């Protein structure tokens, strides 16, 4: 299984962890195999590291909830179906009232759904689930972090972009200019690009500081965020590489 990387970058007054998005139980699997490693240019402080671990713990807890519910999906489905059938029979034949058939179906569906929800809640609060969450919490606290010269160069470049004027940024993007470390970093650059693209996603709203200070400047390249500019440069660079 390929190593998953976490990057901490610090430029100007901005501090940010970048990490890949995970599938349903990918995070849990990578943690169990101790297959996640962190890198930084400037070392994260205690508060930044605690925030990162808390955020990752929330995702790990969600992964455990999905894992344990998926493992008992068939049993829960059959039990919820049983609740629906018993409820429908009881309302239809045991209680003699003028309720139309549609009301009995709706009530039975609601009872079946509540039963399903109750079973899932019991599952995610079980001893097995809590034990797995505690195990992952300990693994998160042991994720190794190491200093990276590559990220030092990234941080310096982000600071450089932040000092550039709008016209300079626009010209740089149009001409396809790239920093030297693009051509010397090899696989490190590729891994960082993939992680950055995954972290940014398709929406700028994930990083609110990307917007300009005024509505007038909101769409200018210089005010749209150093990371977005870097991400575009990386995408263009690999497109040109073929």
pLDDT digit string, tens, across residues 57-78: 999 998 888 887 776 666 666 6
Let me know the angle formed at the C-alpha of 40 by 55 and 52, rounded to the nearest 5 degrees: 10
Phi, psi of 118 (to 5 degrees): -65, -45
Phi, psi of 11 (to 5 degrees): -140, 140
- CA-CA distance, 51 to 15, in Å (whole number)? 11
Phi, psi of 45 (to 5 degrees): -80, 175
pLDDT digit string, tens, across residues 160-211: 998 988 888 888 888 888 888 898 888 899 999 988 888 877 444 333 333 3
- CA-CA distance, 11 to 14, in Å (whole number)? 5
Q: Which of 76, 240, 233, 215 is nearest to 160 (CA)?
A: 233
pTM of the model: 0.71
Which tokens in the block code for residue 1?
Answer: 């299984």
């Amino acid at each position: 299984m390929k190593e998953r990387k976490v990057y901490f970058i610090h430029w100007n007054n901005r501090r940010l962890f970048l990490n890949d998005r995970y599938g349903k139980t990918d995070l849990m699997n990578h943690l169990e195999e101790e297959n996640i490693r962190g890198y930084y240019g400037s070392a994260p402080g205690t508060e930044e590291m605690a925030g990162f671990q808390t955020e990752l713990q929330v995702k790990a807890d969600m992964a455990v909830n999905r894992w344990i519910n998926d493992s008992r999906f068939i049993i829960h489905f059959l039990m919820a179906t049983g609740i629906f059938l018993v409820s429908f029979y009881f309302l239809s034949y045991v209680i003699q009232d003028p309720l139309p058939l549609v009301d009995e179906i709706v009530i039975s569906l609601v009872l079946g759904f509540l039963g399903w929800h109750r079973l899932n809640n019991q599952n995610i609060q079980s001893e097995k689930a809590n034990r797995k969450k505690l195990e992952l919490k300990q693994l998160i606290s042991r994720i190794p972090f190491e200093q990276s010269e590559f990220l030092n160069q990234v941080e310096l470049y982000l600071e450089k972009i932040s000092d550039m004027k709008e016209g300079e940024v626009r010209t740089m993007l149009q001409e396809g200019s790239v920093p030297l470390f693009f051509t010397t970093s090899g696989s490190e650059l590729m891994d960082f690009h993939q992680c950055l693209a995954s972290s940014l996603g398709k929406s700028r709203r994930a990083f609110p500081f990307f917007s300009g200070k005024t509505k007038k400047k909101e769409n200018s390249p210089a005010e749209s965020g150093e990371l977005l500019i870097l991400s575009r440069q990386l995408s263009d660079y690999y497109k040109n590489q073929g």
